[in-house]
Each structure stands twice: as structure tokens, then as C-alpha cells.
Amino acid sequence: MSLNSVLTPLRTLDGVPGGSKKRLLEFFSKFISQQIPTLESTEVFDKLIARERLGSTGIGEGIAVPHCRISNCTESVGTFIRLKDKIDFDAIDGKPVDMLFVLLVPEEATDEHLQLLSSLAEKFSDPDFCRTLRTAPNSDELYQLWMG
């Protein structure tokens, strides 16, 4: 399972207003339930918040990877979000976040979940890739970078 199979142009967002971690996760939950009607926005939000309570998914260097397992999810779903303004995400390095990759996986997809998280960690550990994401002019370019 590759990141290319979970991200779509419609789920590559640029200039999203942040506000707060909670507000951003609410925004994403509503957004994804409009994209995929089988996903209930309150369940998505509740699961993402529950995961954040276990420990922040802010991995450092301005990046967060909120993720969870969802019962009505039939395939893994990813959304890349570049924020208009940085927000506090309780990241491990204390830095505010400006880029997120939100990942939802089917309840039973343990191996797939770990593979996707590993792929994301590998991509985000490349400073050149992150710099390019931050300077891309629009969501189309952002999507192309992920597909590259």
C-alpha cells in the first residue's frame, strides 16, 4: 500500500485556516464525511481526538500526522493539508504545525496502517521534500509532489 493510493487531488488542501488543533480536526472530519458519505463526521472527530489524547501526533518540524482506525472505512484514506497559519499541535518539539497528513484506515487494517505511517515518516524526514511542500504555489503542485 503506497501513499499514492490514499491521496487524491481533492484531498490535497492548501491555505486551510487553522485556528486550533480541535477546530482543524473538526474541519477535517466534516470535510472527509462530505467526500466519503459512509464516514460519519462525529465518529471521525471522536476517534482522532481519542488518538490525540494518547499522545500528540505532532511529529516535529511543523508536521503532524493525525491518524486513527474507523469502523465504516472500507479503504485507507489520506488528506494532505497545508495551513494558512501555523497552529499549536502539542508537537514533540514544541514547534507549531503548518502541514498535516491525516490518515484514516479500516478498523482491521493494522499492517496497512503501520506501513502508511512508516511511509509518511520517511517522506517527512526528508528536509528537502518538506521545504518543497512549503514553497509549492498551490494544491495541484502539492499533489504532484506527493505523487512524485
The percent of residues in the chain predicted with pLDDT above 90, rounded, is 93
Active site members: 67
Quick one: pLDDT at residue 59?
96
Strand partners, 102: 79
Domains and CATH numbers, the chain: 3-147 (3.40.930.10)
Q: How far is CA 86 from CA 74, 79, 114, 137, in A?
A: 32, 17, 27, 17
What cell does 22 get? Answer: 480541535
Average pLDDT over residues 110-133: 95
Give 137's DSSP letter: S
Each residue of 40-98: pLDDT tens digit? 999 999 999 999 999 999 999 999 999 999 988 999 999 999 999 999 999 999 999 99
Amino acid of residue 59: I
